[in-house]
Amino acid sequence: MIIKSVDAKKIKDSRQDETISVNIKTDVGAFSASAPNGKSKGKYEKKPYKKSIDKDIETIKKFKEYFSEEHIDKFEDLRRIEDIIKSEVGANTLVALEFAALKAMAKEQKKEIWELIRDSTKIKKQKFPRLVGNSIGGGLHSQEVNKKKPDFQEFLLIPKSHSPFEAYEKNKNAKEDLQILLKQKDEFFKSEKNDENAWRSSLNDKEVLEILITQKIPIGLDVAASSFYGRKKYRYNNPKLDRTIDEQRVYLSNIIKNFGIFYIEDPFEENDFESFSELLKKFPDRLIVGDDLTVTNKKRLEKAIEMKSINAMIIKPNQNGSLIELKEVCEIAKKNNIKTVFSHRSGETNESILADLAVGFGADFIKCGITGKEREVKIKRLIEIEKSLTK
């Protein structure tokens, strides 16, 4: 396959912020792909654009002739794209371009995108990732309700089923139940949704968890602790309270024990590998998950492994832009028994390729919300793959 031309334009994400869509033309047709935007970003993520989205679009157009000399026929050939443009654009632009190239390769070879990736990963055992769905939101992803909101960023439901269809139905039903319970428990609840289509509430973290445990589905939390950490304290607003690092460790340990938390993401700020390690030592049977800590970055992951900080990590393709690097990260994680959680971003698009990536790379979990068209397009793609393999 030869990329004959490349173009790019600005589109709106689910928050109505600008993001990038990249279009390519090849000898088998025209293909486009887009990248999402994150609001809660790790300090060590690669920048989405080199200088700005407009500059990246200009750069893509300048480099369009360079691609016409390269044959892109398999996943590993994405390196040829990276050799040309990786240093010239940001992570969003690069990953959208590589998504589009994967779509073109799959079309040419009459394969599904996940199959193309599976040819590269050589993963033989077929499994589907468990769904991780954001049901009630707080933190940076939510606006206040009556001047209050939970401090933790996401309250997650993680059905035990490895059938995407079954898990999707369970999460949707649970989210509807939670709406009724929130109406009863939160006098200010107005059935409004946040950036990730999760319910907005004025309740505090413990009050939300008391509602969540009624669903009898394994519970996860994205604490996103870096977002409220400053001057060596975790600064809670609902209720207003500052916690030291030691106090944060004790508080989260109690939360995990009292509510049977199965999954806890970014419980401490993004440089505190030691506190992650202490929590994992205390709860080896729970998932202690790095996101801002590891940012889909090989060196950060290697440090987390060395310090025994995590047993699971978030994989966000646009945290580094390079799918070649993403593959290396997944290989290191697998070799060290670190579970992988392929994840959407808060500002999403109608791009569904995350589902193919999760299946192709043999992800253990996929985190892409419960409802909302930009979230459901990914889940529905996963269900489509499931149906195609169970005929």
Sign of CA dihedral 56, 326, 361, 315: negative
How many distinct helices (H) and strands (E) make up the chain? 12, 15
- Alpha carbon of 187 to those of 202, 296, 356: distances in Å? 9, 40, 41
Distance CA 15, CA 143 (A): 13
Which residue, chain included where needed, has tokens 């996943």?
A: 75
- List 31's β-bridge partners, or say none: 24
Distance CA 83, CA 79 (A): 6
Distance CA 23, CA 2 (A): 14
Question: What stretches of 274-334 adopt beta strand conformation (E)?
Answer: 287-290, 312-315
- List 20's β-bridge partners, or say none: 10
Q: Provide the annotated active-site residues.
A: 196, 316
Which residue, chain included where needed, has tokens 């040419």?
A: 108
- Alpha carbon of 31 to those of 7, 26, 138, 228: distances in Å? 10, 8, 36, 40
Neighbours of 11 (CB within 10 A): 14
What are the DSSP calls for 362-391, one per residue? Answer: T-SEEE--SSSHHHHHHHHHHHHHHHHH--
Query: Are the beta carbons of 319 and 40 closer than 8 angstroms?
Result: no
Token readout for 207 is 């009050």
- Regarding beta strands 18-26 and 3-12, do their DSSP bridges make them parallel or antiparallel, or are they unpaired? antiparallel
- The DSSP element (H or E) to which 229 belongs, if any, is strand 229-230
- The DSSP element (H or E) to which 115 belongs, if any, is helix 113-121
Which residue, chain included where needed, has tokens 């832009």?
A: 321
Distance CA 151, CA 201 (A): 11
Quick check: helix, strand or coil at residue 218? coil
